Amino acid sequence: MDKYRILKKYFGYDTLREGQAELMDEILQGRDVLGIMPTGAGKSLCYQIPALIFPGITLVISPLISLMTDQVKALNQAGIHAAYINSSLTEGQIAKALENAKRGQYKIIYVAPERLETERFMEFACGADISMVTVDEAHCISQWGQDFRPSYVKIIKFIERLAKRPVVSAFTATATERVKEDILCILKLNQPKVLITGFDRKNLFFKVVQQRSTKQKEAAILSYVQEHMEDSGIIYCATRKNVEAVWELLQANGIRSGKYHAGMSNEERKQSQEDFIYDVSSVMVATNAFGMGIDKSNVRYVLHYNMPQSMENYYQEAGRAGRDGEEAECILFYSPQDVMINRFLLESKVGNSELEPENIMLLQENDEVRLNKMNYYCLTKDCLRHYILNYFGEQVSGRCEKCGNCQAEYEEKDVTDICRDIIHCVEQLRQRYGMNVIVDTLLGRNKAKIRSLGLESTPSFGICKGEKEGFLKNIIGELEQQGFLLPTKDKYMVLKLSQSCREIQNGERQIFIKVSKEELQTQTTETKKASKRKSDLLTSKGLELFDVLREFRLALAKEEAVPPYIICSDKTLTDMCIKLPKNKQEMLNVNGIGESKYEKYGERFIEKLREFTHGEEMTLYYEEALTEQEPIAEEKTTKRKGKKSEFSLTPEIEQQIQYTQQTTISDFVKQLNQYRNEDTTKCLSTTFITRKLVEEGYLKEEIVDGKSWKRTLKKGEDIGICEETRQSQYGKEYQVLLYTKPAQEFLINSLRDRWQI
């Protein structure tokens, strides 16, 4: 069977994506390959389809159990016999799997790299007909990569012991020149075809939000999640402590969320991961321990509560959004303290490693360079997408018009005078302090630390009074980037002056920075959202059907004990709503339905569709959007752009409201949002309501452990807002605000008569 027939029959797709055909052809001609393609590009098919055409077995070396399990489940669902052999199996199960493998029962076998070193596996491999060895996540072979795995280095020994040298194919998403060279060299690839496809993920929207305080960050993240209650998303934090804090914040606001970090037991982590994959919880708050091997295709946003350690990490984590090719957002909430946190984490990483001392130094330097590049991503006012692509070696310039920076309006501001003040200040402080002390001195802040250092008597004290702290910090960041200020590499990061500062002092150099209008106006706590507004291609009736199909998919997933996306993707469901297939032929035309999927579920889906349409012809999508965007084919988004108006309390909404004895603010707001016309109207946010209540003296804001909590005041109690003490999973007490019926009525009256959104 040729590759296109296999593509259709087993995977249900009609066309191959960029790079796939070329890599498959090279492999099929017996040539080694290295495929460097971004997450979600479709690397798996590049080796799975040749594996089905080759006469013998393909061994896929993969670093993570979850990754293997997922892939094998997906293959078996597609009607392809595959197995995995790793430490999650008992010795008995391994023996059985190897026996089956010897009998030729599997075309594809996934193994962990450590397994190759065992005698039993070697014995099997020497007696088997192995056509190809595929090395997945091949960057694990390089010490310069992010996830170095020593046993990857030994793969070549295994290959060399085989009776016949198989084709070797390697794949990765993140590879700088150095990592690429390592893969080629350590795996001893034989005159390989190296294919690097574009790294651009067009469906991802990138944005950096500058936040100066923990409180601001938390408020922004909470409001983002509340505005995307229907979507699945991941929030990455740098430390376990932050994961706990953000998770508790979400829990306290009634948001179904899970958490994941190395401090939890295996059992807890597994449960949390499953809840997320099975859509039981919609948000996952996690450290970077989470995500590798998670192929959840409908993640609609990835937020970073802290800046990651490198662009490689960032692109990999952010890249977990929108694997289904539909619009998704990647927002990084940045504060300058993130640099310190990461420096600390990097130091402890190197401190714990078993590397030779000379390598440790090299690694440290490398980490520092990567961290600086990451930091500059957060500070740059240029196109974020192009910054990423340039980092990964793709030469692009100009603007993408689809990232936070391209969409923000900037003003170029001449800040040369302020730069002179900063340089003077650093000189007067004898180059002994870091960013915070310098800024506090310039702003003339009467802080204990400044007084104790005796800095209130320096001439620079208060010279920039009236400027915003964030603005000064941005200018200092710019001076660092341009090499005028040199941060030391120790924990305290003192700022030193470089020779070139003289050029500024002598009037030979002018410094401009871009300042966004947003920054110039207020330091708002709410994230400015991407200007694009997502609304489905489907009409509200179409969305109703989509929900029915989604429910049905969940039921099938439970029957089969696999995650819903393994049954089929959201994109496939959307395509069903558009095409409303009535028979086998039409069902096979649906994106993502191959023969095997059809055999398993096709008729049952057709039956569901029939129940919904009662056999009538109907159109459940916006036709003009389809002609604009072409049918649901590859890479096309199912989202329609269009501006929505702010939420307003209409008589129709009011008529439907059901008052309850008591409720939380999120549930109440959720109810109101349900009744709005979601095609035309934005969500009402709980942040808006609580902000109003604080402004009007019904609630007060209290900061505990650096977190913001709302408490009721006498005036709030009078209108029926009461507090209930609850206990978190960790025994910590927190207060939940409950709104009784009179309080709910008060909110409705205020929304109708007084509050302007």
Question: To the nearest whole angstrom, how small is the minimum distance from the Cβ of residue 33 to ligand ADP?
Answer: 14
Q: How many residues bind ligand ADP (CB under 6 A)?
A: 18
Q: How far is the CB of 747 from ligand ADP (least distance, A)?
A: 43
Tell me how far apart the alpha carbons of residues 489 and 326 are, in angstroms, rounded to a whole number: 41
The answer to whether 43 contacts ligand ADP (rule: CB under 6 A) is yes
End-to-end CA, the chain:
61
- Exposed e or buried b for every residue in 252-270, given b needs 16+ CB within 10 A? bbbbebbbbbeebeeeebe
**Residue 540 Cβ, how far from ligand ADP at the closest point, in Å?**
27
HEC string of 203-246 equals CEEEEEEECCCHHHHHHHHHHHHHHCCCCEEEEECCCHHHHHHH
- Nearer residue to ligand ADP within complex by CB, 112 or 208: 112
Nearest CB to ligand ADP, comparing residues 17 and 217 = 17
| 553 touches ligand ADP by CB under 6 A | no
Q: How far is the CB of 8 from ligand ADP (least distance, A)?
A: 10
Out of 19, 23, 40, 47, the only residue in the binding site for ligand ADP (CB under 6 A) is: 40
Neighbours of 714 (CB within 10 A): 8
Does 16 bind ligand ADP (CB under 6 A)? Our answer is yes
Query: Helix (H, G, I), strand (E, B), or coil: what is residue 91?
Result: helix
Q: Which of residues 173-202 bind ligand ADP (CB under 6 A)?
A: none
Burial class from Cβ neighbours inside 10 Å (0-12, 13-18, 19+) for residue 400 reads buried
CB neighbours of residue 384 within 10 Å = 24
CB 413 within 8 A of CB 472: no
Interface residue with ligand ADP, options 23, 27, 36, 37 (CB under 6 A): 37
CA distance 443 to 554: 57
In the complex, minimum distance from the CB of residue 323 to ligand ADP, in angstroms, rounded to a whole number = 5
Which of these segments, 11-19, 84-92, 239-247, 268-276, binds ligand ADP (CB under 6 A)?
A: 11-19
> How far is 663 from 649, CA to CA, in rounded Å?
19
169 binds ligand ADP (CB under 6 A): no
Q: Which of 44, 151, 239, 650 is close enough to bind ligand ADP by CB under 6 A?
A: 44
Minimum CB separation from ligand ADP for residue 14, in Å? Answer: 8
- Among 27, 32, 33, 42, interactor with ligand ADP by CB under 6 A: 42
Q: Least CB distance from residue 49 to ligand ADP, whole Å?
A: 10
**Nearest CA among 720, 718, 724 for reference residue 736:** 724
Beta bridge partners of 83: 109
Tell whether residue 60 is a contact of ligand ADP (CB under 6 A). no
- Residue 39 interacting with ligand ADP (CB under 6 A): yes
Q: 381 with 164: CB under 8 angstroms?
A: no
Is the CB of 464 or the CB of 632 nearer to ligand ADP? 632
Rule CB under 6 A: is residue 302 a binding residue for ligand ADP? no
> What is 426-453 written as a DSSP string?
HHHTTT---HHHHHHHHHT---HHHHHT
Longest dimension (CA), the chain: 85
Query: Does the protein bind ligand ADP through residue 128 (CB under 6 A)?
Result: no
The reply on whether position 634 binds ligand ADP by CB under 6 A is yes
The distance of closest approach from Cβ of residue 17 to ligand ADP in the complex, given in angstroms and rounded to an integer, is: 4
Give me the least distance between CB of 46 and ligand ADP, in Å please. 8
Is residue 17 a contact point for ligand ADP (CB under 6 A)?
yes
Residue that the structure tokens 């402080």 belong to:
429
User: Shortest CA distance to 40 belongs to which of 332, 326, 392, 441?
Assistant: 326
Query: Is 219 one of the binding residues for ligand ADP (CB under 6 A)?
Result: no
| Part in contact with ligand ADP (CB under 6 A); list of ranges 14-22, 112-120, 405-413, 480-488 | 14-22
Question: Is the distance from CB of 65 to CB of 110 less than 8 angstroms?
Answer: no
Question: Which residue in the shown chain puts its C-beta closest to ligand ADP?
Answer: 42
Nearest alpha-carbon partner for 501 in 435, 430, 432, 422: 422
Decide: is 108 part of the binding site for ligand ADP (CB under 6 A). no
Which parts of 557-576 interact with ligand ADP (CB under 6 A)?
569
Take residue 404 and report the two structure tokens written for it: 């936070």
Applying the rule CB under 6 A, the residues between 272 and 301 that interact with ligand ADP are 295, 297
Site stretch for ligand ADP (CB under 6 A), options 16-24, 221-229, 305-313, 508-516? 16-24
Q: Which stretch binds ligand ADP (CB under 6 A): 39-47, 339-347, 403-411, 727-735?
A: 39-47
For residue 13, state whether it binds ligand ADP (rule: CB under 6 A): yes
Task: Give the whole-angstrom CA distance, residue 407 versus residue 390.
Answer: 19
Which positions touch ligand ADP (CB under 6 A)? 13, 15-17, 20, 37, 39-45, 295, 297, 323, 569, 634
